[in-house]
Amino acid sequence: MMARLKLRGMHAVFDEVLTNGRKARWATERIMMELLRAEAAERHLRSIRYEEWLEEAKRKKLEKKLPAGWRIMFSDIEKYGRS
């Protein structure tokens, strides 16, 4: 059910959280809070990955438009950092 609802973070840690919660006798609210934290962390991580992918796509698109000499200079900036 969690996979169908696209709750990837909860799905990934469900068994672990449930097992730990039972052993430690956590209240239901605590278990739900742990699952929600895992989901929030997963969504945040996916957002960062998407932003990085988008920046990389923009950079590649820009590189294609640059003349050959500029591409070399652009790659040097990437390699050695900006001053």
- CA distances to 43, 52, 77, 80 from 40, rounded to whole Å, are 5, 19, 35, 35
Tell me the pLDDT tens digit for each residue of 23-69.
Answer: 999 999 999 999 999 999 999 999 999 999 999 888 888 777 766 66
DSSP 4: T
**Domain containing 31: what range?**
8-80
Does residue 24 lie within any of the structural domains? Answer: yes
pLDDT at 22 over 70: yes
Does residue 40 lie within any of the structural domains? Answer: yes
Q: Give the per-residue pLDDT at 79.
A: 62
Q: pTM for the complete prediction?
A: 0.68
Q: Give the per-residue pLDDT at 62.
A: 77
Give Cα 28 to chain centroid, integer Å: 28
Does residue 1 lie within any of the structural domains? Answer: no
Does residue 30 lie within any of the structural domains? Answer: yes
Does residue 34 lie within any of the structural domains? Answer: yes
Q: Give the per-residue pLDDT at 15.
A: 96
Q: How many domains is the chain partitioned into structurally?
A: 1
